[in-house]
Amino acid sequence: MAMIQPSFSFSHEFTYDVFLSFRGTDTRNNFTGNFYKALCDGGVRTFIDDRELHGGDEISPSLVKAIEESRIFILVFSINYASSSFCLDELVHILHCFKANGCLVLPIFYDVEPSNVRHQTGSYGEALAKHEERFQNNSEKDKNNNMERLHKWKMALNHAANLSGYHFNPRNNGYEYEFIQQIVRFISNQINRVPLHVVDYPVGLQRQVLKVYSLLDVRSNDEVKVVGIYGPGGMGKTTLAKAVYNFIADQFEFGFEFKLRNSSEGISTIKQRLQRKKVLLILDDVDELKQLQALVGGLDWFSVGSRVIITTRDKHLLASHGIDVTYEIRELNKKEALELLRWKTFKGSNLFGKHIEEWNSLLDRYERIPNKGIQKILKVSFDALEEDEQSVFLDIACCFKGLVDGAM
């Protein structure tokens, strides 16, 4: 059984590693300024905005573009963050990117209680009340639009405050520079991950990634969730798992690669390294119930918010372990299959540029001699059958030998 190393990125290049969202009058000349310098000194490409140095009541198109070109978002929630409509609009757009692209959003509660942000109490409640009072004086049309805007702000604050992050009280939590260095190390580890190679031609992959992503429900941090991916060999279960991993890995704090010699080693290794951490773990090509029992064990091994993805050929194996959130790998539809054929034929095939006679010759050979790669994959499924099941399979196969398609 293989263990997959975590990484990030499905198919996207970013201009910035980090986008800093903060209230300038609170932290620009102290915490955020020092944090920005530490990130830059660490080689982290960081976007910091001077929006408060120019006028206007809405975030600019250039700022929206910077948000959409950033990989990780750090929200510095300070006392007066919610008093700025800039910050709140920015927050809403950041969380939109989080939902759409699976980017990492990391809240830092600087000299403010997370509960104040989550429930809009204290200075956050006061700031939102002032916004509402201001909107009440608008024209009816503007009032309705701005009240909807206010609702989005409240939802975004609640959502962001429920994400895993950091809390720092400058009076009680020791040296600020040590706190900053801790976060910089975490960010550096995230951006230095090398994405797994998935496939050269990811035709039809994105729709399946998004379906598994919805099953994982990574925005929920109140439980450990296990999702099983099942289907015949050669259908792309491992490819799909890698793509999902690359898509969401930055939202998790821990990951590593190790090779297991036996299941008992797996128990001690996972418990030792992953316990009480929010992890994304993929167990690939699981074929026996005892493997699943030994390697996953109790879900209390992992911190809440962790996700485990299991790939297997056997749906019943997942059910036997109580895993009821599953996804059946899908074959390509006709349109996707044709697109893949075009890619393989015209973009990288060894038949590219060859005469039609050579194409026909190879097609004839494939009809007579099975492709070794495909035959090997199919044989794994055959070998997994019981002896009497193999006999039945071979008897049925003999009935089809020499028949024309559609004859039965």
- List, for residues 352-388, the tens digit of each pLDDT value: 566 677 767 767 776 666 666 666 666 766 776 777 7
Distance between first and last Cα of the chain: 38
**Least trusted range by pLDDT, from 123-127, 128-132, 272-276, 371-375:** 371-375
CA 370 to chain centre: 37
Using the predicted structure, report yes or no on whether residue 282 has a pLDDT greater than 70. yes
Own/partner pairs, 200-205, CB within 8 angstroms, 24+ separation: 200/343, 200/348, 201/340, 201/343, 201/344, 201/347, 202/11, 202/243, 203/332, 203/336, 203/339, 203/340, 203/343, 204/330, 204/332, 204/333, 204/336, 204/339, 204/340, 205/236, 205/239, 205/240, 205/243
Per-residue pLDDT at 7: 36
Predicted confidence band of residue 293 (pLDDT cuts 50, 70, 90): confident
Nearest CA among 228, 203, 192, 188 for reference residue 322: 228
* SS3 assignment, position 201: coil
* CB 93 within 8 Å of CB 61: no
CB 237 within 8 A of CB 230: yes
**262, exposed or middle or buried, with CB in 10 Å at 0-12, 13-18, 19+?**
exposed
According to DSSP, the β-strands at 70-77 and 104-110 are: parallel
- pLDDT tens digits, 297-320: 667 777 888 888 989 998 888 888
The token duo for 303 is 């911190």
Among the residue ranges 131-145, 256-270, 350-364, 385-399, the one predicted with the least confidence is 256-270
Using one digit for the tens of pLDDT, what is the confidence trace for 109-127?
999 999 999 999 999 999 9
Catalytic residue ranges:
90
- Which residues are CB-neighbours of 311 under 8 A, at least 6 positions away? 228, 229, 230, 237, 238, 240, 241, 282, 283, 284, 285, 286
Architecture of domain 202-328: 3-Layer(aba) Sandwich (3.40)
Distance CA 395, CA 401 (A): 10
Q: CA 173 → CA 30, 32, 79, 208, 323, distances in Å? A: 16, 17, 17, 44, 41
Kindly state the tokens that stand for 1: 């059984």
For CATH 3.40.50.10140, the residue range(s) in the chain are: 16-190
> Rounded to an integer, what distance in angstroms lies between the CA atom of residue 144 and that of residue 24?
29
Instruction: Compute the Cα dihedral for 296, 299, 300, 302 and give only its sign.
Output: positive
pLDDT tens for 329-357 read 888 888 877 777 777 666 545 555 666 77
Span(s) in the chain for CATH 3.40.50.300: 202-328
Q: What is the mean pLDDT of residues 318-327?
A: 88
User: Token digits for 308?
Assistant: 């485990």
In CATH terms, the fold of domain 16-190 is: Rossmann fold (3.40.50)
* Cα separation values, 357 from 338, 353, 354, Å: 21, 12, 8
